[in-house]
Amino acid sequence: MIVGVCKLIYHFPDVNNLKQKRSKLNSIKDTFRRKYNISIAEVDFLNLWQKTLLGISMVSNNKVFIEKNLSRLINEIENLHFGYISDVKIEFLYIGETY
């Protein structure tokens, strides 16, 4: 089993309060959770208005599949008109034996 983990810092330059941030963030999370069958959560900068750290994970038996889907996901998030990505880091965990 292979787990792809993505750490993504996203900025909302036009947000003026936490309520606006949560609204946009929930829209992002719900859309991509359904579309890519991923786990996604805000994991840091919880009380900052214009910045968030998203943790994203995907499980498969194929690393190329995870790489391709995480790349697509990042590109789609970049194309949103809510803000911009300032940092991305992707890592892979190999659990158990690989066949």
Residue 92 corresponds to which tokens in the numbers above?
């892979």
- DSSP state for residue 93 in the 8-state scheme: E
- DSSP state for residue 66 in the 8-state scheme: H
* pTM of the model as a whole: 0.88
Residue 96 corresponds to which tokens in the numbers above?
């158990």
Question: What residues have CB less than 8 Å from 66, skipping those under 6 apart?
Answer: 2, 4, 58, 60, 92
- Report the pLDDT value the prediction gives residue 81, as an integer from 0 to 100: 85
Convert the pLDDT of each residue in 36-48 to its tens digit. 999 999 999 999 9
Token pair 């190329």 in the structure block, residue: 64
CATH of domain 2-94: 3.30.70.1120
Domain ranges of the chain: 2-94
